[in-house]
Amino acid sequence: MKIAVIGATGLVGDKILRVLEERNVAISEFIPVASERSVGRKVEFNNTEHDVISIEDALNRGPDISIFSAGSDISKKWGPKFANANSHVIDNSSAWRMNDDVPLIVPEINGNKLTKKDLIIANPNCSTIQLVMALSPLHNAYKIKRLVISTYQSVSGSGAKAVNQLMDERKEIETDKEYPFQIDLNLLPHAGDFNEEGYTSEEIKIVNETNKILDANINTTATVVRVPVITCHSESVNIEFENDFTVDEVKYLLESMPGVVVFDLPHANIYPMPILAVDKDEVMVGRIRRDFSQPRTLNMWVVADNLRKGAATNAVQIAQYLISNGMVN
């Protein structure tokens, strides 16, 4: 089993390597890929140093699975070339997510949609993954009518430059800015590009991807906020259902969902926080309570590591699903 990781030296790429190690994915040849300026660098994988190679050299090695985490432009240019060479492409960018012919996969929810013919597979946006993990069992039980989502997204979702900006500002030193304003001791209601209606591309991703994964009939609106936290995204979620529920039933359904853990003893100060979710694969849900302003409506708080389940772990889980179900030649 030859596995290539395109973008192996980035924040998500490094997490992919660690998750592949932790999950003991059987790999006969590991192929780390990065930009031309990183070719020749060494990365450690399974206690062995490996030379980073170019994407063209990686294509020539014929990987069985290629996990892309190098941005949309690279994915659009090289993804089809790897797929044409019969490599299963698992793409972390937004390049293919809304393509009707490309499955958008969270294995616990819709992994059964995958077939051997799917040579390009999209990994959802990090904020979408944790959201639908918590929503899926509730939608199956009560049918979601409307969602109102506010996200509190960490700077690592913007990459290493954003992390450096936060840390430099905290040390009060000059920095190369990823954001148009200071992020330390601040909040930015801005992630991605604004459209003519005043929504950002990150907000539109949440809406469109949630509808594609769960149900096109769910009315969804979102506000995305960038916060001065290094890792882990948090989400305030308001859910209106077609059918009524009890809070105890909701907690039971969430506790029964693989990959979800309930942290909900607020009077004991037990609720999800980013510092609890760092380097964990589970999606944490708490502050579960009925919205008393209208019927059949629930509030909850969802936290997860955006570099793990929000990106790397989900991609590796897709690879494992392909392997375990005999979909890789």
State both tokens at 231.
Answer: 């890792």
**Calpha distance 307→77 (Å, rounded):** 24
Q: Which of 50, 88, 126, 232 is catalytic?
A: 126
Q: Is 139 a catalytic residue?
A: no
CB atoms < 10 A from the CB of 208, how many? Answer: 18
State both tokens at 295.
Answer: 């019927």
**Calpha distance 183→230 (Å, rounded):** 11
- CA 178 from chain center: how many Å? 20
**Calpha distance 317→288 (Å, rounded):** 28
In contact, 162 and 231? CB cutoff 8 Å: no
Give the orientation angle of helix 11-22 with respect to helix 313-324, to 10 degrees. Answer: 40
State both tokens at 54.
Answer: 């170019």
Distances (CA, A) of 112 to 23, 181, 191, 318, 320: 21, 43, 32, 11, 13
Q: Is 233 a catalytic residue?
A: yes
Q: Which of 50, 88, 139, 233 is catalytic?
A: 233
Single-letter code of the amino acid located at 87: S
**Residue positions annotated with a catalytic role:** 126, 233
